[in-house]
């Protein structure tokens, strides 16, 4: 019998916040699970290292759980998938290294007359940690 996978719908820095959200989901009839709460409870400074306390639900309950908690759906903005593990649990690091690219663009404009302020989006998979470049993004404010 195939087992349904769990997806992370929220991360918290404190274990009690995750358990409150879990209780809210379970009172609505959605089964939820909290991961890494014991590690972060014992060593709070590990919270950033392990990615925080994770609240996970079954993939089929994802939309309902986000609605109960009042969170926006990050997948509604993008349909980007990880090319390695095909997970939808990805984040866009749009502002990584933007200052370096800005100064490089200014220098190219001043010395060569070439406007070069385009940059690529960097995507990171939250499941396997794979990083890849996405489509071209125009300007630092877009």
Whether 81 contacts 87, CB under 8 Å: yes
Residue ranges of the domains in the chain? 6-76, 91-138
Do the bridges between strand 53-58 and strand 131-138 make them parallel or antiparallel, or are there none, so unpaired?
unpaired
* Total-model pTM: 0.52
pLDDT value at 55 more than 90: yes
HSE-CB of 6 using CA atoms within 13 angstroms: 12
Give pLDDT tens digits for 64-109.
998 899 887 655 555 677 888 877 777 766 544 556 666 777 777 7
DSSP assignment letter at 47:
T
What is the chain's mean pLDDT, rounded?
A: 78
Q: Please give the Cα distance from 79 to 46 (Å, whole number).
A: 31
Residues 18 and 33: their CA atoms lie apart, in Å, by 9
pLDDT band at residue 142 under the 50/70/90 scheme: very low
């Amino acid at each position: 019998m195939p087992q349904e996978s769990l997806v992370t719908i929220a991360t918290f820095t404190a274990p009690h916040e995750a358990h409150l959200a879990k209780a809210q989901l379970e009172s609505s009839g959605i089964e939820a699970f909290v991961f890494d709460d014991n590690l972060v409870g014992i060593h709070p400074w590990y919270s950033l290292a392990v990615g925080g306390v994770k609240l996970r639900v079954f993939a089929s309950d994802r939309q309902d759980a986000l609605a109960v908690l009042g969170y926006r759906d990050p997948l509604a903005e993008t349909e980007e998938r990880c090319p390695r593990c095909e997970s939808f649990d990805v984040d866009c690091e749009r502002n990584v290294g933007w200052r370096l690219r800005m100064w490089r663009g200014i220098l190219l404009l001043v010395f060569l007359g070439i406007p070069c302020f385009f940059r690529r989006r960097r995507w990171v998979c939250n499941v396997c940690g794979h990083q890849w470049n996405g489509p071209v993004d125009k300007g630092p404010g877009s």
